[in-house]
Structure 1
Amino acid sequence: MAKVSTCPYSDLFQRYPRIGIPEYQRPYRWDEQKATDLLNDFNEFFLNDQNKAQEYYMGSILFFKNVESDVYEVIDGQQRLTTLILLEVALTGHLMPEKQLKYNSHTSFLNIKKIRTYFEGRKELLLKLQEHNFLKRLCLTIVVSDNEDNAFAFFESNNNRGVSLSADDYLKAYHLRAVSSEYLQEDLAEEWERKTFNAQRINDAETGLIHLFYNILYRSRSWRGKDTRQPSKPLVLETFQKQTKKSLKPNVFPLFASSQNLRYKEIDLDQSEPLVEYQENNLAKTTLPFAIRQPIYKGYHFFQYVDKYHEIYLELLRNKSDQHEVHKMRKFYDDVYDKNMSVFLRHYMQLLLVTYYDRFSDDQLYKAVQYFDYFIGSIRIDKYYVREEAVKNSLTKDIDHNLLDIISNAYLPDEIFDFITAQNKVMESYKNESLEGNDGVRAQYKQRVLLYYQKTETKLHNRASWIQ
């Protein structure tokens, strides 16, 4: 079980006494550039009169509560925690006993000495920041796990995912700073951490926010026309940070016409009429009044947007659903897109399904997954080795128009289905199909399709006519 809460840095060691760094942790590796970036950010935030009452969100720390030793072991967040201690020491000139963490790496010792010296050289700025009570306004999300296996799984996943996969933490911190309500900040931070921790707990990265941003939301929003740039940390941050907009009126965000919104033009957080309606009628987050390609506004609007599409993803591909069309679609997906399916093609199918559901909800969803498989399957039977380039080519080079654009702009599902069946290259792939049992993953895919449709024939030539 994991408990999630928020805590100001100034209260951290009182709320969680006896904090320790396990031996398996990586060394402390901050350099002067990172320290400079942090102070520059502090300078911009705390010395800005418009932010004088707001907290600065510093990210999350994961503890494993070791009951035997009565120690809160730092599983994730050691780097930022060490940096904050060094910053406080440089400012006050002393280190409280409870903050004397033990390190067992020469790399840690050298970097700690270097960063402490650097912060001491910036004492003038630190004193200015202290006039604005910055240490009391640094806010952290704290996750405490009482299960050692879950904590280690979370630790290993975080340390293996690499620098390029840290965009979710960066986006969370960025948009929390745009939320003026401290209560709302805490609620949003806890919900975000819960999503992240749950994905790690069940060891299913595809239910996490990194997968959502990189493989679903970025691609659905940005892959337009001939533009199919591979998602990367800079592009994801540009899309969901730099390209987000600031509301002209405090706590008021525009809404745009979509299949889920034909009534409202804005959300006023002081009244929140649309969201109150959803809560009072127990409507799912999947029906929140957003469209996947619409402009996103900083702060609360961003978190609601992410909530909607994370819930749609889970509804379609993970949770048990009472919707008949979703249930049939999932049966097809689970049977045909099993672990032997190319990961690129599986993610491609997920992208198309979420984009379609955003436009049409569950209307003809079962038919849609079959048409999408007819389209994607032509890539599988043509190529023994599927690369990301094959997915991008299928949207830009091999067909008349980008399929994501077709889905997003369609008024009726049949417009999408007619477009797919009109693609000559797809038809030719099935017409020329002659896979045998020794053709590896391609033949395995073919057998899954034949088995699903309960066909006794040995070819896929009539594949389009099987769609129910």
Structure 2
Amino acid sequence: MSEIVERVNIIKVQELLEIINLKIPEYQRPYKWTIKNVNQLIDDILYFKNKNAYRLGTIVLHKDQIDNFNYLNIVDGQQRTTTLFLIFLAVMNHKFEDKDIEKLKSEKININSKLSYTSSISHFNIQQNYQEILRRVKNEFDMHIIDFLLEKCEIVIVQLTHISEAFQFFDSQNARGKDLVPHDLLKAFHLREMFDYSEEIKTYVVKTWENINQPELAKLFNDRLFRIRNWSKGNSAKYFTKNDVDLFKGLSINSKTKSLEPYAKLYQIANIFVDNYNNNSDRLVDFTLMSYPFQLDLPILNGRRFFEMITYYINKYDNKKFLTENKTIQLINDYSQKNRTGDKYIRMLFDCALIFYIDKFGQQDIEKIVEKLFIWAYSLRLIKQAVYLETIDNYVIRETQVFKIIRDANSSKDVVNMKVDNLVSQFSEDIKIDEKIKEKIIGYFNGK
């Protein structure tokens, strides 16, 4: 073990609450968890309430002596820790008629002292979140859930010796490339959703995921999946961050204990049908396996299907073999200015729209679609000297909403017949644009 780590323990939440010398140091950032973050934590607790144990995460502490008293300062994990304190405070303030709750109320003063923040931001978020937590505790908690939270929810405690070592540890975990990127958080979430599967299947899934080229995987999420799913809803899609991972969480249909909403039944049926088809003994004769019918704008199935979906899109839309015979594709693959930053953004915009269309309608009217989407995307080059990520983001959600049109279309003709604004009149000779690109755009609007 590293020299800076004094001790690592796994403790129950009740043991965490009973640490009398736990302290949030002044150097910590404000408490910034939102109601959304709080509800996610509570949802997790409720979802796993029948499990033998549930690991909530890691808290990093370091010893600090003040006025001859040894404190344990929270270096990492203070947002989750504060929220757990708020949940317990709500439990104590609600009228649960149980002797164990009465016994624990002696910890109330200590809990309040541990929630000591000086920042007004922290005070506001604590007040807002506490009201939401209290509402959920009153309506959804019972003694079984409280017992699960206190006795079966666990925290990994990493205790360090000195403040400099604590920051060294914190930096190594968060600032030097070891912090989880968004798609790694999704990997952890969807693996957790595979609780009905064997360790052998989980190991295979992890191995397949790790064998994917990681920069390629990041590009798939950042430049394609994230933007297509957001733009199809008319939402901005500039940067894929940890705050956006919920976009790739969906339906949990593996658990037999969780009821499904009516709209989810369709996906449950498709999921079961695909598995039954592939496991049928006839496959030993015809060797024809069926893929789940993934669609970029439809709900994601949590767990195994998520990993299958990523592999599916990695393989399906490899740029090296993506419609290379099409003349328009060849033009944008080869024109002289293709490597300028702005042109790369426009190419990403074009690719996302085309992928979204093919994902829904396949190769129907593909020549017409490629040309129309090219004109729509690359017309930006006629009117913009510089193209930024914000430029294309605004273009998608404020101008011709191509992604919404594709999402709502019932046939390929709805997309073929969409109107693309003629921006030729706004073109200035001061704007530098490849002659072949300009000629094709102007020719389109002149009927050539």
One-letter code of the match for 1:409?
D
Q: Deviations over 1:396-442 (max 9, x none)?
A: 3333xx210111222333321321xx23xx31x22443536xx4xx3
One-letter code of the match for 1:175?
H
Distance in structure 2 (CA, Å) of the matches to 1:57 and 1:362? 46
Distance in structure 1 (CA, Å) of the matches to 2:56 and 2:289? 29
Going from structure 1 to structure 2, the CA distance change for 1:376 and 1:227 (only over 3 Å counts) comes to: same
Percent of residue pairs identical: 19
Matched, 1:216 2:224: yes
Distance in structure 1 (CA, Å) of the matches to 2:325 and 2:257? 38
Higher mean Cα deviation, 296-305 or 346-355? 296-305
Matched, 1:189 2:198: no
One-letter code of the match for 1:214?
N
Going from structure 1 to structure 2, the CA distance change for 1:364 and 1:57 (only over 3 Å counts) comes to: farther
Displacement of 1:176 after TM fit?
Answer: 0.3
Report the equivalent of 2:276: 273
Report the equivalent of 1:381: 382
Q: Deviations over 1:102-156 (max 9, x none)?
A: xxxxxxxxxxx9789x9xxxxxxxxx99x99x99xxxxxxxxxxxxxxxxxxxxx
One-letter code of the match for 2:424?
Y
Match of 2:271, SS state, is: strand
Distance in structure 1 (CA, Å) of the matches to 2:223 and 2:407? 17
Q: Deviations over 1:303-351 (max 9, x none)?
A: 223232232232xx13x36xxx554265344224832352321221221
Matched, 1:407 2:406: yes
Match of 1:347, SS state, is: helix
One-letter code of the match for 1:220?
I
One-letter code of the match for 2:252?
K
Matches within 5 A, 1:47-446: 50-52=50-52, 166-180=181-195, 181=197, 182-195=199-212, 198-199=213-214, 205=215, 207-209=216-218, 211-224=219-232, 226-228=234-236, 230-241=238-249, 244-247=250-253, 250=256, 265-268=269-272, 272-276=275-279, 288-314=292-318, 317-318=319-320, 320=321, 325=323, 327-328=325-326, 330-336=329-335, 338-340=338-340, 342=342, 343-399=344-400, 402-419=401-418, 422-423=419-420, 426-427=421-422, 429-435=423-429, 439=431, 442-443=432-433, 446=434
The 8 Å contact of residues 232 and 404 in structure 2, kept in 1 or not, is answered as yes
Report the equivalent of 2:435: 447
Displacement of 1:302 after TM fit?
Answer: 2.0
The 8 Å contact of residues 231 and 397 in structure 2, kept in 1 or not, is answered as no
Going from structure 1 to structure 2, the CA distance change for 1:409 and 1:179 (only over 3 Å counts) comes to: same
Higher RCO (Cα < 8 Å, 6 or more apart): 2
Distance in structure 2 (CA, Å) of the matches to 1:304 and 1:252? 23
One-letter code of the match for 2:405?
I
Pairwise CA RMSD: 5.4
Q: For structure 2, which runs of at least 5 residues remain unmatched after alignment?
A: 1-27, 32-36, 63-71, 78-147, 156-173
The 8 Å contact of residues 171 and 240 in structure 1, kept in 2 or not, is answered as yes
Displacement of 1:231 after TM fit?
Answer: 4.1
Give the greater-gyration-radius structure (CA). Answer: 2
One-letter code of the match for 1:447?
E
Distance in structure 1 (CA, Å) of the matches to 2:341 and 2:444? 18
Displacement of 1:169 after TM fit?
Answer: 0.8
Distance in structure 2 (CA, Å) of the matches to 1:217 and 1:403? 16
Q: Deviations over 1:336-386 (max 9, x none)?
A: 483235232122122112201111223333432222111111111211111
Going from structure 1 to structure 2, the CA distance change for 1:408 and 1:189 (only over 3 Å counts) comes to: same
Distance in structure 1 (CA, Å) of the matches to 2:380 and 2:289? 35
Going from structure 1 to structure 2, the CA distance change for 1:49 and 1:404 (only over 3 Å counts) comes to: closer
Match of 1:246, SS state, is: coil
Distance in structure 1 (CA, Å) of the matches to 2:267 and 2:181? 37
Q: Deviations over 1:2-23 (max 9, x none)?
A: xxxxxxxxxxxxxxxxxxxxxx
The 8 Å contact of residues 294 and 309 in structure 2, kept in 1 or not, is answered as yes
Match of 1:208, SS state, is: helix
Going from structure 1 to structure 2, the CA distance change for 1:49 and 1:376 (only over 3 Å counts) comes to: closer
Distance in structure 2 (CA, Å) of the matches to 1:364 and 1:284? 28
The 8 Å contact of residues 175 and 300 in structure 1, kept in 2 or not, is answered as yes
The alignment of Structure 1 onto Structure 2 pairs a total of residues equal to 319
Displacement of 1:252 after TM fit?
Answer: 11
Q: Deviations over 1:230-265 (max 9, x none)?
A: 444244222123xx22227549999x99xxxx9993
Going from structure 1 to structure 2, the CA distance change for 1:447 and 1:250 (only over 3 Å counts) comes to: farther
The 8 Å contact of residues 221 and 292 in structure 1, kept in 2 or not, is answered as yes
One-letter code of the match for 1:190?
K
